[in-house]
Structure 1
């Protein structure tokens, strides 16, 4: 079984592309297991991972494709939580949605995707948003 940690961004950046990419993996229905992770940085309404729109959409798409899915949630720094969950689940791949940023935007605000790439010892797949590409 090939285990994928699929990080769901709260703004849905790259979500559709992420879903299509994982569904297109060879023998996905038979050999891929996806853990959908949402990291809550602020959760005043007390939502669970199952109530996050992007998570529900991804879960529905993967189930339709016959891909095993489980849900994971965490709170805190997205980078640290993605890396911790990847280690705890011993995944084979981390899949993250990305978005286009200017060099100044990257320098000022950083990038979760960039920090995960630089900090992870596991393969990281970045699926850019379809918007603006």
Structure 2
């Protein structure tokens, strides 16, 4: 079984792109398992991750593809939460969404993306957004 940890922020486009890439990974759906990680930086209403629209959309797309998944939610630093979830699950791959950047900004990743890449002890796939 190939285990993928996917960092899901509040952006639906990022979640969709990440799930598309997971679905397109080699192998059958039955050979893949996904952990969706959503980290609340601020959660005054006490919502759960499954109430976040981007997380629900990602779960629905995985259901439609026949891929088993679970949801991991936490609070604090998103990069730490993603890397910690991947380490705890001994994941094979981390998938995170990149942000649209200006030509000069493309030389650098966003702070969460960069922190995950530098802090992970496993492969990290960064998905893009359409221009």
What's the TM-score once normalised by structure 1's chain length? 0.88
Kept in 2: contact 1:6–1:36 (CA 8 A): yes
Q: Deviation of residue 16 (structure 1)?
A: 1.8
Give the Cα separation in 2 of the matches to 1:95 and 1:60: 17
Q: What is the CA-CA distance between 1:60 and the residue it aligns to?
A: 0.7
Deviations 1:92-125 (A, max 9, x none): 1000011123446987x95211111112111001
Conserved in 2, the CA contact under 8 Å of 1:94 and 1:124? yes
Alpha-carbon contact 1:5-1:35 (below 8 Å) kept: yes
Q: Tell me how many residue pairs correspond in the alignment.
A: 130
Q: Which runs of 5+ in 1 are unaligned?
A: none
C-alpha separation in 2, matches of 1:104 and 1:36:
27
Cα RMSD (Å) of the superposition? Answer: 1.9
Give 1:11 shift.
2.6
Change (3 A) 1:58 1:30: same
Describe the shift of the 1:64–1:49 C-alpha distance in structure 2 as closer, same or farther (beyond 3 A). same
Q: Deviations over 1:65-88 (max 9, x none)?
A: 110011110110111111111111
The equivalent of 1:119 in structure 2 is 119
Q: Which residue matches 2:48?
A: 48
Q: Distance in 2 between matches of 1:78 and 1:105?
A: 21
Cα deviation for residue 13 of structure 1 reads 4.8
Give the direction of change, closer, same or farther, for the CA distance of 1:110–1:27 in structure 2 (3 Å limit).
Answer: closer
Q: CA offsets, 1:24-51, max 9 Å, x none?
A: 1122412100111100000011110110
State the match for 1:25 in structure 2: 25
- The answer to whether residue 72 in structure 2 is matched with residue 72 in structure 1 is yes
TM-score, structure 2 as length reference: 0.89
Distance, in Å, in 1 between the alignment partners of 2:71 and 2:77 is: 18
